[in-house]
Amino acid sequence: MGVTVDVHEVFKYPFEQVVASFLRKYPNPMDKNVISVKIVEEKKDVSTGIIYRKRIAVCQNVVPEILRKVNILKVPNVQLEEESWFNPQERNMAIRSHCLTWTQYASMKEESVFRESIENPNWTEFIQKGRISITGAGFLNCVLETFASTFLRQGAQKGIRIMEMLLKEQCGAPLAE
């Protein structure tokens, strides 16, 4: 079956500042679930200027205790892999991430884009599409998908709040129209 979560936000800050804040967003005291983020690969295509990064995030397992009675859900941490392609010339950054834990039972994928806003070139548009599907858990599939959908939606909103806070700290008030 699966569930999807779509997010659209306009940050009233320039693209370069938004991307810089995104890259230093975690770990952060506002979201204690993200334990660490490590760059495992980074390279620049000299012909295009595109910077490719692969990062691994280690997050606390947030599955409710009651559901952790199922053996496969008892892990303390969950790992996520994120790949990004930062194109400073076109002022966009594409991001793909997926869960490395529970891959035989669940699929969690997100695709995101930061790009210069059409409304105002000093603003940055953020678009994210996430999809979670769970198999092999029998009657728990729907319960876990519902929990995952809620967590993903809340996580996206929390991530946006953290970005706004970081941007305000680093750059001051948002830019007016």
Domain boundaries, the chain: 1-169
Question: Could you write out the DSSP letters of every residue in 59-77?
Answer: EE--S-GGGGGSGGG--SE
Question: Nearest to residue 165, comparing CAs of 6, 57, 24, 3?
Answer: 24
Q: Return the CATH fold of 1-169.
A: Alpha-D-Glucose-1,6-Bisphosphate; Chain A, domain 4 (3.30.530)
Tens digits of residue pLDDT in 15-51: 999 999 999 999 888 888 899 999 999 999 999 999 9
Task: Please say whether the beta carbons of 125 and 104 come within 8 A.
Answer: no
> Model-level pTM greater than 0.75?
yes
Residue 133, CA distances (Å) to 4, 80, 116, 147 in order: 9, 16, 31, 11
